[in-house]
Structure 1
């Protein structure tokens, strides 16, 4: 063992220790590695920084953008709505559908993002069914981890190990190479959680803290429930060809048009009229209307206008909450708007939002708001596109925005672009499966298509990329080269084969799995894959075996981060909402990790022969 290897090993141990205590942050540790490695003389500066030019770093960044496009178009939230509707009142059906949905979605986008999306869905469904979130949050995180075993792009460790295979001259994995193993683990995981999940207990913590207000609260507080109508413009309506202002609906009939829904071909488009008041009405348009005037003679008036009333189950504000934003504002003492009528505030013209409610103390003001003068302490409820509602407080010194309702987290500003988002993902998958272009080019094509179709804009794309993850990968990749150059990889292979015996490859596969899983308790699964991928490939080379089964075991073990809440970000995310303790993950996660180990050492040699030519 030479002194350079000792230095590299000392740095590696120090990095692992800092990862374990999370001091400093993981991305900061990666920067420290990038600074320290060239100083050892083992690697040059270009070799140390080569990770930033790795295609998989660009690929992972592109996958973050694609996941954000799926969220912005509302596809992920629609899946949550479908889940709630199909589960009904059955907690068993809910758990099965939840794990299936999360695993399938996580196969094509960030599992961390999927869990973040589904946490409020699970909380809402748990409250409706009267069950504890503890029963569902851990199945949620387990399904997200298993999703990493379903496709090549599902998680960063898969891509890291695949890159190591190709760097070693092997063929690498196909898009669905890991899928057979993942499907078996998913089926076993669902069955396991149906039984083991019951040991989590169902105790409720009634003091979990204040709940964020929702549309339902605001609609009740401002007495909007009886004012919502959904109207269709008939083919002989005299409103056809007129703009919203020209129709005089608000002025003459006490009906304020909040949004217009149009369907062209197979696409649904929603326009929030606070921002596009000049929109011209067409035959077949569906108007979402706030009726603030008298309703006694409403049916005859609707017939005279050529409007047909459509059914509305839960109120359109709730139905459109992912596209139409609600927000509360108050006026500070120095506001120039004090003393003015609501009509004189010009919120539509100046801020692209409209006032639809006014609360004075705890009492909602009813009737025509336009003539109501605003006093100090009044709270106004405004409606508009989410982007305009969110910006209202920062646009003017005359308004102070209060906390937005919980639905803001489900904002889908590009909901009408959902078919194009699906098309973009389908193109990417086809290109990756067929191998027409490299995976990174396929992902970048999908990103460009999403941008072209309006599924995502550049600011959202840049915000969606989790830069600490990219920095962590780029910073840890040079370790593999440093260990290889100083003989560290050969040392690890020798230790593994001498301990488990090179005559029994199954024991070596089990040893690789256990080593990877144990390291993953303290280090991110991406960093673990960076370290263990070269060891797996070198072990196969030492035995004269195919590197694919050894690399696949590392891939499966890297995703088997079930044992502690710090093993993966998805476990950390559900720790609070599920009100779990560290011991809960050990109790439930450790046996299932053993199950995945058995699947790996049984199926991998069967589907990926150790000696394909032997």
Structure 2
């Protein structure tokens, strides 16, 4: 079997795994490296080159710079000050919000930026009496468009630049993509403000979280009679908990209330238990108690959840969360976070049953009841660089530190200036910035390590090895030849339009980085065969790979706002399709002009 055919089969298998999400993207990337080395398409050294590639290291260091900026609290302060503007001029405020998010996302990784803004936007929506669904999709889309404007705006741009350098080209400068990206950003923001706003849903919000998550049929109160076998037993030993797989949310004993009691809490006669369990088990609960106690000491209750000693919290699962792919039982949710899950909003569905058995996905919203005194600890967990969730109802996490903010901004500007002036490569400039931040005690080394999204690092390393294999085997030239022969007679505009469409369709169903890794080598080979500057085609691939607006699963930030905004899948398609067309037309028209083709 020829090396080209082996590489094609491995790439095809990788695409299937990326699309189906049977395995995590970082594991797929490692399997790509193993498969290419074992089959001899690349040498062991070439297979591991991706881990030391400047693109991979740059992405890792940029995560650290992003974490330092977010830690200053500057974004929370800016967004909080916009609340009054939303009450007076909502359209103007929406436009300014998108521009703010876009500008920050051009220089900071957009996933943590959106994570910071989701709860802030929620509070702004409540204060200004705006439906959050009118703001969250624009928030995500603005962050994506901002990332298109600079080399460091997204890991996709850095990856494509790294593949170009591997092929002996110069790679992108910090602002190579800016002429096209800024035009897309301006037109996109105008579209979302004045046209997209009409396409966004404006569904009536329910009166309470209990109604939103349909909790009424899933909560019950149990009164323990004098002669019950439940009296004087520990919760962990009680048959009713074991057999019905329920959570005890509260125990009321006279005037005392015990919220989220631990497993060794001993029940007593006349205790009233507030419990959560599945609908069918609640129906059977009456029979179970009547059979044991000769009474029906059970009633389905209204929720009455928020009390002084307990609070409802909505927790959005982040893309890099330890929760992803695991169940609440596997992460030991109740003991680890002192909270009882009441419901899960999973994409468009709200689930109330079998909560401990559902594998979680990025963007899922967990509604839980937590001890009020433990909320500070949940906020502390949320502000960690590797936080598994965002609290939709959380207050501002960081106080604004003016001096620290000025220091971080100077470091970021220094990194950009050094890279733009070609004094040192961007990877070295970013590393210098990290060192300055750690020496200046803005971040500790442990915080720096925690801020790095290691899944993306491994994905980039695997993607670079796949690009190397395509070059070694000649597969890139074969595919480029087919592409060039089919459209080259129609001119360079047709080539760019087709390349954009192919890239964009792939990125809607699989990782944007994986898509860029597959098509960047093809773009280089096509440019060389036709005799045009390959950088023009690489810019096309970069923008198309990031322009994932039509589905909620094509880009991490879309997945984050999907459940938080209570959207339907088609909401993204309705709003995102015209925006994708705008990006396609602008890229097709401007890339030849910018590069003089």
TM-score, length-normalised on structure 1?
0.67
1:443 aligns with 2:430: yes
Encode CA deviations 1:305-350: one digit per residue, 9 max, x unaligned. xxxxxxxxxxxxxxxxxxxxxxx99998999xxxxxxxxxxxxxxx
SS of 1:202's equivalent in the other structure is coil
Encode CA deviations 1:337-368: one digit per residue, 9 max, x unaligned. xxxxxxxxxxxxxxxxxxxxxxxx969xxxxx
1:541 aligns with 2:540: no
Partner of 2:466: 479
1:465 Cα deviation (Å)?
A: 0.6
Q: Is the 8 A contact 1:502 1:508 kept in 2?
A: no
SS of 1:576's equivalent in the other structure is helix
Aligned with 1:559 (options 515, 529, 546)? 546
Partner of 1:527: 514
1:46 aligns with 2:48: no
Partner of 1:201: 201
Aligned with 1:589 (options 558, 576, 595)? 576
Q: 1:156 to 1:329 in 2, by over 3 A?
A: same
1:381 Cα deviation (Å)?
A: 6.2
**Matches of 1:362 and 1:551, distance apart in 2:** 57
Aligned with 1:418 (options 405, 415, 420)? 405
SS of 2:467's equivalent in the other structure is helix
Q: 1:3 to 1:568 in 2, by over 3 A?
A: same
**Matches of 1:55 and 1:73, distance apart in 2:** 28
**Matches of 1:88 and 1:207, distance apart in 2:** 21
Encode CA deviations 1:436-476: one digit per residue, 9 max, x unaligned. 11101111111122222222112211111110111111112
1:492 Cα deviation (Å)?
A: 0.8
1:84 aligns with 2:83: yes
SS of 1:509's equivalent in the other structure is helix
| Structure with the greater alpha carbon radius of gyration | 1
1:414 Cα deviation (Å)?
A: 6.2
Encode CA deviations 1:186-219: one digit per residue, 9 max, x unaligned. 11111211212222221133177369xxxxxxxx
Partner of 1:167: 166
Structure 1, unpaired ranges of 5+: 212-327, 336-360, 364-378, 392-402
Partner of 1:131: 130
**Matches of 1:149 and 1:499, distance apart in 2:** 28
Q: 1:75 to 1:6 in 2, by over 3 A?
A: same
Encode CA deviations 1:137-168: one digit per residue, 9 max, x unaligned. 11111101101211111011111121222233
Q: Is the 8 A contact 1:483 1:489 kept in 2?
A: yes
**Matches of 1:534 and 1:552, distance apart in 2:** 12
Q: 1:494 to 1:411 in 2, by over 3 A?
A: same
Q: 1:416 to 1:405 in 2, by over 3 A?
A: farther
1:416 Cα deviation (Å)?
A: 5.1
**Matches of 2:372 and 2:576, distance apart in 1:** 49
Q: 1:122 to 1:53 in 2, by over 3 A?
A: same
Aligned with 1:462 (options 433, 443, 449)? 449
Q: 1:332 to 1:529 in 2, by over 3 A?
A: closer
Q: 1:382 to 1:415 in 2, by over 3 A?
A: farther
SS of 1:410's equivalent in the other structure is coil
Q: Is the 8 A contact 1:26 1:468 kept in 2?
A: yes
SS of 1:204's equivalent in the other structure is coil
1:415 Cα deviation (Å)?
A: 6.5
Partner of 1:16: 15
Q: Is the 8 A contact 1:107 1:153 kept in 2?
A: yes
Q: Is the 8 A contact 1:147 1:154 kept in 2?
A: yes
1:99 Cα deviation (Å)?
A: 0.6
Q: Is the 8 A contact 1:106 1:154 kept in 2?
A: yes
Instruction: Kindly tell me the number of residue pairs found equivalent between the two proteins.
Output: 441
Q: 1:517 to 1:390 in 2, by over 3 A?
A: closer
Q: 1:4 to 1:198 in 2, by over 3 A?
A: same
**Matches of 1:25 and 1:79, distance apart in 2:** 35
**Matches of 1:455 and 1:593, distance apart in 2:** 39
Q: Is the 8 A contact 1:87 1:97 kept in 2?
A: no
Please, what is the CA RMSD of the aligned residues? Answer: 3.0
1:105 Cα deviation (Å)?
A: 0.5
Q: 1:575 to 1:387 in 2, by over 3 A?
A: closer
Aligned with 1:569 (options 556, 559, 563)? 556
Structure 2, unpaired ranges of 5+: 212-257, 266-306, 310-370, 382-389
**Which deviates the most, 61-70 or 478-487?**
478-487
Partner of 1:25: 24
**Matches of 1:405 and 1:195, distance apart in 2:** 27
TM-score, length-normalised on structure 2?
0.69
1:420 Cα deviation (Å)?
A: 1.0
**Which deviates the most, 199-208 or 87-96?**
199-208
**Matches of 1:490 and 1:530, distance apart in 2:** 15
**Matches of 1:464 and 1:511, distance apart in 2:** 37
SS of 1:144's equivalent in the other structure is helix
Encode CA deviations 1:546-587: one digit per residue, 9 max, x unaligned. 112111111111111111111100110010111111111112
**Which deviates the most, 479-488 or 563-572?**
479-488
**Which deviates the most, 7-16 or 96-105?**
7-16
Q: Is the 8 A contact 2:150 2:174 kept in 1?
A: yes
1:606 aligns with 2:593: yes
SS of 2:81's equivalent in the other structure is helix
Aligned with 1:511 (options 498, 516, 541)? 498
Q: 1:492 to 1:331 in 2, by over 3 A?
A: closer
Q: Is the 8 A contact 1:329 1:381 kept in 2?
A: no
**Which deviates the most, 495-504 or 183-192?**
495-504
1:579 aligns with 2:552: no
Map 1:354-503 → 2, pairs under 5 A: 406-407=393-394, 410-412=397-399, 417-502=404-489
1:85 Cα deviation (Å)?
A: 4.0
Q: Is the 8 A contact 2:511 2:554 kept in 1?
A: yes
Partner of 1:189: 188
1:540 Cα deviation (Å)?
A: 0.8
**Matches of 2:428 and 2:174, distance apart in 1:** 14
Encode CA deviations 1:221-264: one digit per residue, 9 max, x unaligned. xxxxxxxxxxxxxxxxxxxxxxxxxxxxxxxxxxxxxxxxxxxx
